[in-house]
Amino acid sequence: MRAINPATGEVIQEYPEHGPEDVARLIARAGKAFLAWRETPFSKRAILMKSAARVLRESRGAWSRLMTMEMGKTLASAEAEADKCAWVCEYYADNAERLLAAEKTATDGSESFVRFDPLGTVLAVMPWNFPFWQVFRFAAPNLMAGNVGLLKHASNVPGCALAIEKIFMRAGFPEGVFTTLMIPGSAVEAVIRHDEVKAVTLTGSEPAGKSVAAIAGSALKKTVLELGGSDPFIVLHDADIEEAAAQAAVARCINAGQSCIAAKRFIVEEKVAERFEKAFVAAMGRLKVGDPMDRKSDLGPLARKDLLMELEGQVKRSVAAGARLALGGKRLGDKGCYYSPTVLCDVVPGNPAFEEEIFGPVGAVVRAKDASHAIELANRSRFGLGASIWTGNAEMGKVLAGRIESGAVFVNGIVKSDPRLPFGGVKASGYGRELGLYGIREFVNIKSVWVK
């Protein structure tokens, strides 16, 4: 496996892959570790998980630089990612025992209750865009639930994959409780089908999700899928337009726009659309694209050259289909994978910018006749991950939130993941949940116990 710096195009380091015999040995080691780990008290698991949080914070600079070098996120955003990973570790260390406490219920028995027991070895197939956070939001709840984890990380962040395993080892977790498998995508099916692996979680693309779900389904193994998104950012006429436009630029360009829950379709009521477009273009135009190690840079490069080429093609096809290019629309520099902050206006259903997930700093502005039409446009998508509504009437925002087909709706705020709230989508954005109460209960045996 090869790590390439997307800011320069230079090879950082090459890493050896695990062969079939190595993989078999590591899976067997994980299975053996589970037998002891499931009997480990919550209090001991919590001590180790809080130790992982300390390791994340103590070496925050090293982890952040590694993320920036391998996938191009700005150093400041990488530091924030490391901090968030520490937070999720602490949250589940403090709350897992409560969230998984047995629930008593009245029946014809003298005592009846529901237990939440760990399943065993869980495989996580993770993406490159948040190379630490995506893994820790899987690992923290599942390890605290008594499961053990196998990680198959994206091939362009191999250093991050090994670093995460190192963090758990430095924190004192028993060998085999968390294991990184250095394998290509072609080797994933055999891991899923291995008898020791009991479930699979994937964060990634729609095609990858379909493939993993089909394999796991044929082996009768549970899956959780967090896939793509084309999140609507709805601006009603009574919103603070300048503030909404400023937040729209932030929401679109987090992680250089490479986020499933980044706002992508900016659906604005007609009567304020011109004002919003002008303010949005100005806000996007103020963003500085540059070296992600430079703290003055707001955006770094895209993570890979193929992603840059795909984004460039989507913008060209959108303009050819009738979208108006109001800002940007071009590569930047003669090396690295930089793309300018871009705004497309006059976007309508059927246009690539409306229908496809655009993974980069490109915002598509769509005009709506009124609030009801805005909700209709928001739902006219095969995706359903997140959404936001910007309005001066929060009560109306809550009512409209109930009509949106997505896993999360934020009223007057940017969509974000939070350890305290369930995270996931509907439709082509996947199924199942991570984080919160529902996330920690995804990969447990919900067991009824009846006593007389």
Residues recognised as catalytic: 226, 260
Burial of 366 (0-12, 13-18, 19+ CB in 10 A): buried
Give the whole-angstrom CA distance, residue 194 versus residue 202.
17
440 Cβ neighbours under 8 A, 6+ residues apart: 92, 96, 99, 100, 141, 142, 144, 145
**Nearest-angstrom CA–CA distance, 443 and 223:** 9
φ/ψ region of 58 (left if φ > 0, alpha if ψ in -120 to 50, else beta) reads alpha
356 backbone φψ class: left, alpha, beta (φ>0; ψ -120 to 50): beta
Give the separation between CA 279 and CA 287, rounded to whole angstroms: 13
Q: From residue 407, how far is each of 142, 194, 230, 260 by CA, in Å?
A: 21, 31, 12, 12
Sign of the torsion formed by the C-alpha atoms of 293, 299, 304 and 308: negative
The amino acid occupying position 294 is D
